[in-house]
Amino acid sequence: MRRHLSRLESYWRALFALAAGLLTLFAFAPYSFYPFAVLGPALLFLLWLDATPRQALAEGWSFGIGLLGFGVFWMHISIDQFGNVGTVLAMLITLLFIIAVSGFYGLAGWLGRRLMANARPAVLLILVFPLTWVLGEWLRGWFLTGFPWLALGYSQIDSLLSGFAPVFGVYGVSLAVAVSSGLLVLAYSDRRIEPLMALVLAIVIWGDGYLLGRVQWTEDTGETLKVSLIQGNIDQAEKWKRENLESTLALYRDLSRESRESDVIIWPETAVPAFLHQLDETFLTPLEEEFQAQESQGKKSALLMGIPVWQPEGKHYYNALLALDGERDEYYKRHLVPFGEFMPLKSLIGPLLEWIEIPMSDFSAGAAVRPLIRLAGRPVGVSICYEDAFGEEMIQALPDAQYLVNVSNDAWFGDSLALPQHLEIARMRALETGRYLLRSTNTGISALIDQRGQLMGRSPKFQQHVLSGDIQAMQGMTPYARYGNWLVVAFSVAGLLLTLIICRYRNCRHT
């Protein structure tokens, strides 16, 4: 197959790479056929073996467009329906964004071929390509505040390789998948020793994943909490209309009253469609008094709600969480969505967006050092929507946080791939931290996730629903919670440098 690919014209090679990217998409939720995460990059690596740096750049870029172009094209829904720019322009903006972020796959290929132009296939497949791949993914999750969606490791949440997540995080899982892809290509080598070496290394990697997955990295405190997640299912197009405010508040209040046996009740992101100061006396204070009154009956529930906050003195407004638990506690969203909640490179891009009349939110980022809030007397790690895509930020709540909460409003993206993909990301965060994670959403998918990333319960999509269950308060730290992404990033950089040094003084050339 390699001989046939090497004879193809550049545009056919790019089309092949695009198809490999599309194939890889089916490894992720909702399809979850995780072997495709090994097969798709393997096909790309096969192209890269005979590519020049420029060809590797184009082929990697094409792969990214195949994966992200079909995988996250749902972004146009919010731009079209709620940005009021029209379908064609919304799709064009989304396509330009996808083309831009797909470049990191091209960068990985270009760097691999540039550093090792004549290295042996085994060196490229086992070391160089997987290491540049992971560095490219990490950079994509960092540049312009980051877009880490569909990192390869997320697809393995139900495979043996998920055992690497509590140690190295999602990028460590990506590295294990990428090495497996290289080994798959190496298994078809004409040299007798290389297929055997590929088999042995594959057994070692997947076996290590299995063994690591059996380790109990954290332990429960012995305390069980009953929790309820309120899914209001408020249509995004109707949510912020003034005439719907009272009915929305009544809905969440009534559903919460039905959950009074729970220790913790959680409403989704911006469940309250008005600023805190507008409802403090008329709704929030009476609601607090109502919750406090049940304490005299021997039962007390803590309430966590999503609500926007306006601070007129600084002319800032925040996407916030408010805890009502005797004393109030607040958390302001720190990691804002680029081009949705804030505008990066505002001085450069702002005039263009104003010229084509694209409405932009301009939230301020919260200044909290750690994403912690107290609920029912316990420290809880919290995140709002997109923040749970960043594992290195979630671990800042540890070791204090006894469980994690993510509130979201994925109604922006309709009934698209965004919903199951976001749930898959949340499962990875639970596994990385060894903590239960409660995911409360407006329209779905709300979920209770245990410390191993397994679903204990989930809500239906686009239905009013109260999801209740028991969780365990946890303590302890996983290796990933201690060291974050720097462990796998440092390993990748050091691995590339060491490979370069060794190949400079020893014969790593392809013969």
**pLDDT(345) > 60:** no
Angstrom distance (rounded) from CA 293 to CA 300: 8
CB 163 within 8 A of CB 479: no
Q: What is the pLDDT of residue 249?
A: 95
Work out the angle between the directed axes of helices 418-433 and 165-186 (0-180°, nearest 10). Answer: 120
The model carries a pTM of 0.93
Q: Residues 194, 341, 385, 387: which is the catalytic one?
A: 385
Q: Residues 59, 137, 194, 333: which is the catalytic one?
A: 333
| Confidence at 314, pLDDT banded by 50, 70, 90 | low
Q: What is the pLDDT of residue 293?
A: 77
Per-residue pLDDT of 180-205, as tens digits, reads 999 999 998 777 788 899 999 999 99
Instruction: Check if 346 is active-site.
Output: no
Per-residue pLDDT of 402-429, as tens digits, reads 999 999 999 888 899 999 999 999 999 9
Give the residue extent of every domain in the chain.
2-216+490-505, 219-477
**Is residue 158 exposed (0-12), middle (13-18) or buried (19+ Cβ within 10 Å)?**
middle
CB 2 within 8 A of CB 49: yes
Q: Residues 194, 269, 341, 424: which is the catalytic one?
A: 269
Helices (H) and strands (E) in the chain, counts: 19, 12
Please name the amino acid found at residue 423. Answer: L
Q: What is the pLDDT of residue 355?
A: 47
Per-residue pLDDT of 197-242, as tens digits, reads 999 999 999 999 999 999 999 999 999 999 999 999 999 888 888 9
CB 213 within 8 A of CB 206: no
Instruction: Check if 315 is active-site.
Output: no
Angstrom distance (rounded) from CA 222 to CA 468: 19
CATH number at 219-477: 3.60.110.10
